[in-house]
């Protein structure tokens, strides 16, 4: 289950995503992410940060996404 929140409806390039897994290892958890899509998108990737402290091999201790 996912929920998207736009804190400022005039800035559609910035939003927050809440993920609540229905199954799997993280079932029952609630994980919040912050996403910012730059003006140069398509040449520059979106910036995504995990706001929830979590252990995952692709997420650093400060919430940066490493892919």
pLDDT tens, 30-63?
999 999 999 999 999 999 999 999 988 999 999 9
Residue 15: pLDDT band with limits 50, 70, 90: very high
**Parallel, antiparallel or unpaired: strands 2-5 and 14-19:** antiparallel
Residues annotated as catalytic are 66
Residue 23: pLDDT band with limits 50, 70, 90: very high
Position 64 in a domain: no
Position 8 in a domain: yes
Position 17 in a domain: yes
Nearest to 67 by CA among 47, 38, 42: 47
Domain containing 34: what range? 2-50
CATH of residue 40: 3.10.110.10
Q: What is the mean pLDDT of residues 5-22?
A: 95
Position 42 in a domain: yes
- Identify the pLDDT of residue 49: 95
List, in order, residues 6 or more apart from 40 with CB less than 8 Å away: none
Tally of domains in the chain = 1
Q: What is the mean pLDDT of residues 9-25?
A: 94
Position 62 in a domain: no
């Amino acid at each position: 289950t996912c929920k998207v929140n736009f804190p400022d409806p005039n800035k559609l390039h910035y939003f927050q995503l809440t993920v609540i897994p229905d199954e799997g290892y993280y079932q029952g958890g609630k994980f919040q992410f912050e996403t910012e899509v730059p003006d140069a998108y398509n040449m520059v990737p979106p910036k995504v940060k995990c706001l929830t402290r979590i252990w995952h091999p692709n997420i650093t201790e400060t919430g940066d996404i490493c892919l």
